């Protein structure tokens, strides 16, 4: 990987260059209060881009997998039925994506493109997308109370799956290329050589930042084992289910959730469109069948499905990563306090209670 250094004052030149090259650039900005969000960069908001700010509650996942996506139109014209697929793949750059969300996109890549069937809709959005990752280095602004990427090995500095990675070293940034497309952007004269002292500074900053995480789920690996072996007691799932209000919030903010449903809607007198829409295992309709039967009617039956899907060895082997990247958003939005770190803790406590004492 090629590394370069750029002055802080020149950092947004990367955004300007991308826009000049025809990219639609998406970057994090601050709204009112604590709100932060990703937005399309324009001449008006370009100076509001912030590198250090709380990670937006909505992950940038929607730029590869939108909430609602048109798949095709069906139109009746002069007695003939025409079907037109609706692919959309703009030339886009996601500037300032955090390491957890980058891991989320890689998980989606594996799910939608990593096996025999490649999803053409996902692929059309993904193939023209440039990912510019930012390392979280400011504990006060970057790291929320619920962040735990250090436990899922997805941050604070991503090791791969980015085109460019930016890391704040103080007055200057280290810029690392992770792909040929990223490396090509380092030809700009604003970049200069990286020295051993820069590398040492990077290491020292990361060592310090890792100590500043407040949520540490050291039981994560054991939870993966217990979930994979089906050793979680029914009463633990019931306890989790009893606390879930079935709002779907945890799945809608999750950068690694992949589920969707498909439906048709009328858009004109002789025209319908087929769309896919994010779905959530928290919602009763997720498993309801056409005749009305629901094999997972009880909420805890759908909650255990969520954690099995995210943590079971079978899926980790298939996607090459857990479907949890440690962003902490589910913990932040859940009214019932059954986000991932709490569930891991509930499983730890329940498992400790059922431990057999050695015979005396
Ligand atoms: S956010 Fe909490 S309450 Fe809402 S569906 Fe998820 S687990 Fe249930
Ligand atoms: S399960 Fe929760 S912590 Fe894990 S990636 Fe999804 S929202 Fe983030």
For residue range 112-148, list pLDDT tens digits in order. 999 889 999 999 999 999 999 999 999 999 999 999 9
Is the pLDDT at 355 greater than 70, yes or no? no
Q: Is the CB of 334 under 6 A from ligand 1?
A: yes
Question: Is the separation of the CB atoms in 195 and 206 below 8 Å?
Answer: no
Residue of the CA atom closest to atom 4 of ligand 2 = 324
List the one residue out of 41, 70, 208 whose CA is nearest residue 139.
208
Average pLDDT over residues 316-327: 94
* pLDDT of 353 strictly over 90: no
For ligand 2, pick from 154, 215, 254 the residue to mutate: most ligand atoms within 8 Å of CB: 254
Check pocket membership of 257 for ligand 1, CB cut-off 6 A: no
Percent of the chain at pLDDT exceeding 90: 85
Among protein residues, the one whose CA lies closest to atom 8 of ligand 1: 244
Percentage of the chain lying above the pLDDT 70 cut: 98
CB 156 within 8 A of CB 149: yes
Report how far ligand 1's centroid is from the alpha carbon of 248 (Å).
Answer: 6
DSSP one-letter code for 6? E
Provide the pLDDT for residue 269.
Answer: 93
The model's pLDDT over 273-304, given as tens digits with 9 standing for 90+, comes to 999 999 999 998 898 898 999 988 888 888 89
For residue 267, the model assigns a pLDDT of 95
CA distances from 18 to 29, 68, 101, 161 (A): 18, 27, 21, 19
Asked whether residue 358 carries a pLDDT value surpassing 70, the answer given is no
Nearest CA to ligand 1 atom 4: 247
Per-residue tokens: 182: 């990223």
Mean of the per-residue pLDDT values of the chain: 94
> Quick one: average pLDDT of 318-337?
95
Q: What is the pLDDT of residues 156-205, one digit of tens each?
A: 999 999 999 999 999 999 999 999 999 999 999 999 999 999 999 999 99
Residue 360 has pLDDT above 60, yes or no: no
Residue 54 binned pLDDT confidence (cut-offs 50, 70, 90): very high
pLDDT digits (tens, 9 = 90+) for 235-281: 999 999 999 999 999 999 999 999 999 999 999 999 999 999 999 99
Pocket of ligand 2 (CB under 6 A): 253-256, 310, 324-330, 339-340
**pLDDT the model gives residue 116:** 87
Query: What confidence category does residue 30 fall into, taking pLDDT thresholds of 50, 70 and 90?
Result: very high
User: Using alpha carbons only, what angle is made at residue 303 by residues 230 and 120, rounded to the nearest 5 degrees?
Assistant: 100
Residue with the smallest CA separation from ligand 1 atom 2 is 334
User: For residues 155 and 326, is the Cβ–Cβ distance under 8 A?
Assistant: yes
What does the pLDDT average to over 16-42?
94
CA-326 nearest atom, ligand 2: 3
Ligand 1 nearest-atom number relative to CA 251: 6
Look up residue 164 and give its two tokens.
């460019």
Look at ligand 2, atom 2, and give the residue with the nearest C-alpha: 330
**Cα distance between residue 318 and residue 309, in whole Å:** 11
């Amino acid at each position: 990987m090629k590394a370069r250094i750029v002055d802080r004052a020149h950092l947004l030149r990367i955004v300007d260059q991308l826009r000049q090259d025809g990219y639609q650039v998406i970057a994090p900005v601050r709204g009112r209060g604590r709100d932060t969000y990703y937005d399309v960069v324009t001449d008006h908001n370009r100076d509001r881009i912030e590198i250090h700010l709380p990670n937006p509650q909505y992950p940038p996942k929607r730029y590869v997998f939108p909430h609602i996506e048109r798949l095709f139109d069906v139109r009746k014209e002069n007695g003939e039925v025409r079907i037109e697929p609706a692919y959309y793949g703009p030339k886009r750059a996601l500037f300032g994506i955090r390491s957890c969300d980058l891991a989320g996109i890689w998980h989606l890549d594996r799910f939608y493109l990593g096996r025999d069937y490649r999803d053409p809709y996902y692929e059309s959005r993904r193939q023209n997308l440039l990912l510019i990752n930012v390392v979280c280095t400011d504990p006060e602004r970057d790291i929320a109370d619920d962040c735990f990427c250090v436990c899922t090995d997805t941050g604070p500095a991503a090791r791969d799956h980015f085109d460019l990675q930016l890391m704040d070293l103080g007055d200057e940034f280290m810029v690392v290329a992770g792909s040929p497309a990223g490396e090509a952007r380092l030809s700009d004269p604003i970049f200069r050589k990286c020295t051993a002292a820069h590398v040492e500074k990077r290491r020292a900053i990361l060592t310090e930042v890792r100590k500043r995480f407040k949520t540490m789920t050291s039981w994560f690996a054991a939870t993966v084992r217990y979930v994979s072996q089906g050793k979680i007691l029914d009463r633990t799932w019931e306890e989790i289910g009893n606390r879930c209000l079935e709002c779907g919030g945890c799945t809608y903010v999750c950068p690694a959730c992949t589920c969707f449903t498909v439906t048709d809607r009328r858009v004109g007198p002789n025209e319908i469109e087929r769309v896919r829409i994010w779905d959530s295992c928290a919602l009763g309709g997720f498993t309801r069948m056409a005749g009305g039967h629901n094999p997972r009617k009880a909420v805890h039956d759908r909650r255990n499905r969520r954690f099995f899907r995210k943590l079971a060895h079978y899926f980790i082997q298939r996607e090459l990563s857990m479907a949890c990247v440690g962003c902490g958003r589910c913990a932040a939005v859940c009214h019932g306090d059954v986000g991932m770190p709490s569930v891991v803790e509930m499983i730890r406590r329940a498992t400790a209670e059922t431990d057999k004492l050695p015979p005396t």
